[in-house]
Amino acid sequence: MSTPTIQVITRASSGLTPSYAAGSATDTYLIPNNGRVFLHVKKTGAGDCTVTVVTPGTTDTLALADYTATVLAAVGDKMIGPFSPLVYNNNAGQIAVTFSEVTGLTFAVLRLP
């Protein structure tokens, strides 16, 4: 389990130039979520990547399906989110994110102020 740095988008200093981290296929990323968090995922390597955001809750005793988004190989680039805390947050107020394939994958966690 890892907690990546959340970068806040701001008007100060002409905006934010985000920094990106390499993703790991063996890690689950726990990200504090206030409903204004989203991911920017970029893929330059071979193989598509499925990004999964766990939905830990249930409705009427039925488990909610996890949210998935596919980032295409070689030239893929996708903004994912924001995430409703009522649907996606665990008991600690975090979303859980995994990546299926990480060759050439980088990501940034961004938050609106």
Block means of pLDDT (10 residues each) for the chain, length 113 residues?
A: 91 86 94 98 96 93 94 93 96 97 97 92
* Alpha carbon distance 88, 79 (integer Å): 17
Residue 65 lies in a domain: yes
Residue 1 lies in a domain: no
Q: Give the pLDDT score at 75.
A: 84
Q: Give the pLDDT score at 12.
A: 78
Q: Give the pLDDT score at 38.
A: 97
Residue 44 lies in a domain: yes
Q: What is the CATH number of the domain that holds 59?
A: 2.60.290
41 is in which domain, residue-wise? 6-111
Q: Give the pLDDT score at 18.
A: 94
Q: Give the pLDDT score at 21.
A: 96
Residue 88 lies in a domain: yes
Residue 82 lies in a domain: yes
What Cα–Cα distance (Å) separates residue 24 from each residue in 41, 73, 90, 109? 13, 16, 21, 15
* Alpha carbon distance 56, 15 (integer Å): 34
Q: What does the radius of gyration of the chain's CA atoms come to, in whole angstroms?
A: 14
Residue 35 lies in a domain: yes
Q: Give the pLDDT score at 29.
A: 97
- Among candidate residues 1, 9, 4, the one with its CA nearest the CA of residue 110: 9
Number of domains in the chain: 1
* Alpha carbon distance 112, 6 (integer Å): 10
CB atoms within 10 A of CB 91: 6
Q: pTM of this prediction?
A: 0.92
